[in-house]
Structure 1
Amino acid sequence: MPSQLLQASVKPSDSSAESSNTVKMVEEGPYTQVCTAIYGLQKLFALGMFVSLFVWIFAHAGGIGMRDEPTLEFNIHPMMMSIGMLFFNGEAITVYRGVRQVQKKHTKLAHMIIQIAGLVLITFGLITALDSHNYAKPKPIPNFMSFHSWLGILTISLFSLQLFGGIGIFALPYASMDLRKKTMPIHRISGVLIFVLAFASSMLGYSEKAAWAFKCWTANGEFCAMVFWGNMFALCMSLYALCVLSIVINPEWIRKPLPSETHVPLVQRDRHE
């Protein structure tokens, strides 16, 4: 009799362990490991992007300045935009699939914080671009004349709308579960499209910067260190974007809920209201 009771008490835990192992196998199968590998490459290309960007700006483009040096102040613009609009955005939209074993409430919070930090850098980058035009010498440079600036403003506007809409629907406790389910596919595809726009705007901006500032190429027809590091930055940025898109467009790599998870908004309602 005691042995039967012991067997009965062991069976549920065995079943639970089997279920846990099954979930782990689903989450960490060979196909999912490809996603993890691409996520690692994404970080490698991000590192290459940062190294080449800072070598380009600080070693070959004169560094950065403020309003009294508008040409150097403009150097802040590609730094803030590539970090805030592309890198932070890419990290935010891949964090769910890249660290899928972490509780969703933590990755959800990280997603929101990264996007908010990105918007802060984007705003600062936009201000430095406007300043460098308005304080240019001998006379100001007109703003919003290029297609790059038009596409950039469109991207920033959509990014801001997506961010605040996402906070209102998914982070705060006021939207119904039905509304969340209906808007989640829209939120996902919008995030991917905004990232594509951010990448396109960044590449247009780099090409515009190269045409204006790389005098060794445009004036002398020479391949200099500035061109090399600038092109390395653009190449790493392109490879980074490809990794991000490879991760987020594959429906098989959508993060699956962990066994212990239930939906909880980041900010919960007071149950006594």
Structure 2
Amino acid sequence: MGRFHREVHEEQVEMSGGSRCCFSLLTLLAEVLLFGSVALVVAWCLKYRGGFAWTEDPNLQFNLHPVLMVSGFIFFAGHAMLTYRQWRCCNHSTIKLVHTLYHIMAIPCIAVGLIAVFDFHNNKKPTPIPNLYSLHSWMGLVTVGLYGLQFIVGFFSFLFLLCCDTATASFRAALVPVHSSFGITTFFLAVATCLTGLTEKVLFTIRDTYSSMPDEGLVVNALGCTLVAALVVISVITSQNVFRQSRAHGGIATEL
């Protein structure tokens, strides 16, 4: 824990040329994968699942669920995780604000996505579908719970406690690695939950033709692979010390 409390004079630790080149390539790849995952899930729902609606058509309402969950848990949460690596030129308070804004944008996506799937189950004709019976739904509940807990703890610890900055600096510095570890764990769970959900959906809808590799099956498989690739790339970017930056914050060095 010494590195979180040592005095520093540098505002930012610069990466070497090779590390910067590798970081830039990985960041570009992460952006392609994050945007690609949203594009693929939207294309899947538009081309093969009939588009979107609300309660007037439960089947089309369900399509909002995968799109919004990928947008919230993968796109916005993924960008939130990358904020502390990508926004190196900004001061620490700005980075915290951007990180929080990404999570704030994810929350309504997740909330509406949950409403959509519950409505779909409850309004399904001729027989409603039971809620929360599958492995996918159980994993989803755990993921939503962890994400909510992460947001509350992060907001309280890294924003609210800034009102008494000096008194809480040591506590916040000690919480950084815990918050970071739970963040990547939640992202792992989000990707795993998406994969179980995609598998469940194709087995319900194209079970008889899936083994013959129809176009829809290829799109869903490509989406799953894109999610896994995004997880791997973002994990590398956020876990490698060489891509981290140290910023002086109130005289206390905070490792990001």
Report the TM-score, using the length of structure 2 for normalisation: 0.86
Structure 1 stretch 26-35 or stretch 206-215: which is displaced more?
A: 26-35
Describe the superposition over 1:180-237 as per-residue Cα deviations: whole angstroms up to 9, x where unpaired. 112111111111111111111111111111111225624xx53322112222222212
Contact 1:216 1:223 in 2 (8 A): no
Counterpart Cα distance in 2 of 1:136 and 1:79: 19
Aligned to 2:219: 229
State whether structure 2 residue 254 is matched by structure 1 residue 262. Answer: no
Please, which runs of 5 or more residues in structure 1 have no aligned partner? Answer: 1-18, 265-273
State whether structure 2 residue 233 is matched by structure 1 residue 243. Answer: yes
Query: What pairs with 1:1-273 in structure 2 (closer than 5 Å)?
Result: 26-172=14-160, 173-174=162-163, 176-215=168-207, 217-218=209-210, 221-257=211-247, 262-263=249-250
Name the amino acid aligned to 2:110.
Answer: I
Q: Secondary structure at the match of 1:226?
A: helix
Counterpart Cα distance in 2 of 1:71 and 1:158: 29
Contact 2:34 2:74 in 1 (8 A): no
Describe the superposition over 1:113-169 as per-residue Cα deviations: whole angstroms up to 9, x where unpaired. 101111111111011010000000001100000011011111101100110111111
Name the amino acid aligned to 2:187.
Answer: F
Cα displacement (A) at 1:255:
2.0
Please, which runs of 5 or more residues in structure 2 have no aligned partner? Answer: 1-8, 252-256
Contact 1:27 1:256 in 2 (8 A): no
Counterpart Cα distance in 1 of 2:79 and 2:208: 35
Q: Secondary structure at the match of 1:62?
A: coil
Name the amino acid aligned to 1:48.
Answer: G
Counterpart Cα distance in 1 of 2:80 and 2:179: 13
Cα displacement (A) at 1:23:
5.5
Name the amino acid aligned to 2:151.
Answer: L
Aligned to 2:3: none
Q: Secondary structure at the match of 1:134?
A: helix
RMSD over aligned CA atoms reads 2.1
Larger radius of gyration: 1
Aligned to 1:267: none
Cα displacement (A) at 1:66:
1.2
Cα displacement (A) at 1:50:
2.4
Name the amino acid aligned to 1:104.
Answer: H
Q: Which has the higher contact order (CA 8 A, sep 6+)?
A: 2
Q: Secondary structure at the match of 1:101?
A: coil
Name the amino acid aligned to 1:91.
Answer: H
Name the amino acid aligned to 1:238.
Answer: V
Counterpart Cα distance in 2 of 1:192 and 1:54: 25
Counterpart Cα distance in 2 of 1:177 and 1:204: 40
Report the TM-score, using the length of structure 1 for normalisation: 0.81
Contact 2:38 2:70 in 1 (8 A): no
Q: Percent identity?
A: 26
Counterpart Cα distance in 2 of 1:139 and 1:121: 27
Name the amino acid aligned to 2:23.
Answer: C
